[in-house]
A and B are shown apart, each in its own frame.
Chain A
Amino acid sequence: DAKTTQPTSMDCAEGRAANLPCNHSTISGNEYVYWYRQIHSQGPQYIIHGLKNNETNEMASLIITEDRKSSTLILPHATLRDTAVYYCIVRALQGAQKLVFGQGTRLTINP
């Protein structure tokens, strides 16, 4: 699985959009981009994933650049409960038993 690079930490004001970047310059054509988050002491929570098109669900939007070397997770209206560590993961379709979690971005939502 390709390696990802994320900022160590970010801050965002409550009610604003939180934009979390991820670089995955060595991503292969058969690898998806996944985002998970982990709120303190809880299990990782799936947010969204995509291959090359932008994706949106009830939690977030995922914007993947045309060359697929980077992506951005957008939380449109951040709340205090969105404070968590966010993980960007690239994962192949076949033989992909494990998820490789890096260090992630610690997002703090400020009131």
Chain B
Amino acid sequence: GQNIDQPTEMTATEGAIVQINCTYQTSGFNGLFWYQQHAGEAPTFLSYNVLDGLEEKGRFSSFLSRSKGYSYLLLKELQMKDSASYLCAVRDEEDSSYKLIFGSGTRLLVRP
């Protein structure tokens, strides 16, 4: 079956570092995405990993281990505006389509 797990909620302090984990079991794999979604808004793209290792993009980094079915999103120098849901999604390639399988999201609360 298809399954993506991530913690439901996390709390962190402004200026700190937080790591949001994601584990997945899918029938196919051609990339893992992280999206940020503020309440009532559309998901916005943060990062993409298709090979093992770390991808860094400013304050955000994402790591992938395909053998372990594991990824994490690292947010540094947290700001209040980082309070949002973070969605882990796997691209499941079947019949050359482009289907994203999402986890339920991790609600991050950044406190002063």
A and B bind: no
Chain B residues with CB under 8 Å of chain A are none
Chain A residues with CB under 8 Å of chain B are none
